[in-house]
Amino acid sequence: MTDSVIAPEIMDSPVSSGTVRDYVALLKPRVMSLVVFSGVAGMVVAPGHLHPVLALVAVLCIAVASGAAGAINMWYDRDIDAMMDRTAKRPIPQGLVPADEALAFGIILTIASVALMGLALNWVAAGLLALASGFYIFIYTMWLKRRTPQNIVIGGAAGAFPPMIGWAAVTGDVSLASIVLFALIFFWTPPHFWALAIFRKLDYQHAGVPMLPVVAGERETKKQMLIYTLILLPLAISPYFLGIGGLTYLAGSTILGLAFVAYAVQVLRSEDHKPAKRMFAFSILYLFLLFAILIGEHLAV
Ligand code: HEM
Ligand SMILES: CC(C)=CCC/C(C)=C/CC/C(C)=C/COP(=O)(O)OP(=O)(O)O
C-alpha cells in the first residue's frame, strides 16, 4: 500500500464506527494470546490458590489491559503504521475506526481493567498492570520508539510484566521467582523483535523508525541477538534452581535455549532473510513451550 491511498482526513475524523472485527483488531489479539499465556504461567507457579472465578477475572484483566495498550499504540502510531506494509491494513490507517474512537476505547478499557484487578484481586497486581500499560504507551510508544534503537530493549520491559502480574494476583507481592520470569521475557524480547526487524527493515526505514537493523546494520543486530540468546540460556534454566520448575522444565529449557542460540548463529552466518524469519517464528514457539512446560508441571502435581 502506498501513502497516497490513506487520506489524512479519514484517519482523524469520526466518519464511521468500525465493526466488532475492527475493534478486535485494535487489541492485537495474537500478541495478546502469548501475553495472557505468560500471565497464566505466573499465576500457576505462584504459591497459593485463587478461586477459579477470581483467576478468570485476573486473566481477563491482563488480556483487556494488553489489548487496550495495543489500541492506544495504534492510535499514536497511526502515521507510521500507514507507511509500513505490515501495518498499513490496520483499522485506523484504513479509515475503518476513527483515531479518537480508538483512543477512547483504549483509555476506557485500560481504566476498567486496572480498576477491576484492584477491586477483585489486589492493588499490587493492579499497580503492576498499570505500570505495564504505562511502560508500553508512554515509555516505548511515545518516548523511545521513534528516538533510539534501544527502544525495544528498554520498552520491552512492558511485555515482561505479565508473569509478574499473574504472580502478584495470587500472592499480592513480588518475589525473586517473579522477577526471574520478568527477566526471562525481558532478555527474550530483543532477539524476538530484531529477527522481525531484520526482514522488515525497509518498512522501518521508510517510516523513519530507528530500529537497530536500520541504524546499526544487520550484522551488528545479529551479533546483539546472539548475545541476548546466550544470556537467556542460563536465565531460562534458573526457575529450576529456584524451585518453580521441575526436571522436565530443566531439560526443556536447556533444549529450547540451545535451539534459540543455534537459530541466532544461523542468522549471524547467513546473508539472506530466511533464517531471521524462521527465528522470529521460533521465538514465539520458544516462549510458548517454556511456559507450557512450567504450567504443565504445576498442573500435573
Ligand atoms: C517491546 C517488546 C516487543 C516488540 C517491539 C514486539 C514486536 C512485535 C512485532 C512488530 C510483531 C509483528 C506483529 C504483526 O505483524 O502484527 C510481533 C509479533 C508477535 N509478538 Fe511481539 N513484540 C514485543 C514483545 C512481545 C511479548 C512480550 C510477547 C508475548 C509474551 C509478544 C508476542 C508476540 C506474538 C505472539 C507475535 C505474533 C503475532 C502474529 O502471529 O502476528 N511480543 N511482535
Ligand atoms: C498491559 C500489558 C499487560 C501490557 C503488555 C504490553 C505488550 C502487549 C507488550 C508487547 C509489546 C509489543 C507487542 C510491541 C509491539 O511493538 P510495536 O507496537 O512497535 O509493534 P507494531 O509495529 O506491530 O505496532
Residue 193 Cβ inside 6 Å of ligand 1? The answer reads: yes
Domain end residue (candidates: 174, 191, 220): 174
Domain end residue (candidates: 174, 196, 216): 174
**215 and 74 housed in the same domain:** no
Q: Higher pLDDT residue, 277 or 15?
A: 277
Q: Which ligand has the nearest atom to the CA of 73? A: 2
Tens digit of pLDDT for each residue in 96-144? 999 999 999 999 999 999 999 999 999 999 999 999 999 999 999 999 9
**96 and 49 housed in the same domain:** yes
Domain assignment present for residue 139? The answer is yes
**100 and 195 housed in the same domain:** no
pTM: 0.93
**138 and 243 housed in the same domain:** no
Q: How many angstroms separate the alpha carbon of residue 4 from the centre of ligand 1?
A: 28
Segments forming the whole domain that contains residue 266: 175-301
Q: Which residue has the cell 534452581?
A: 241
For the domain that residue 61 is a member of, what is the CATH number?
1.10.357.140
Tens digit of pLDDT for each residue in 12-61? 544 556 899 999 999 999 999 999 999 999 999 999 989 999 999 999 99
**72 and 128 housed in the same domain:** yes
Closest ligand 2 atom number to CA of residue 165: 3
**61 and 121 housed in the same domain:** yes
- CB-based contacts of 105, cutoff 8 Å, min separation 6: 23, 26, 68, 71
What count of Cα atoms within 13 Å lies in the side-chain half-sphere of residue 34?
17
Rounded mean pLDDT, 230-248: 97
Q: Which amino acid does the sequence have at 250?
A: L
Q: What is the ipTM of this complex?
A: 0.93
Residue 2 has pLDDT above 60, yes or no: no
Confidence of residue 69 (pLDDT cuts 50, 70, 90): very high
Rounded mean pLDDT, 135-162: 97
Q: How many angstroms separate the alpha carbon of residue 173 from the centre of ligand 2?
A: 25
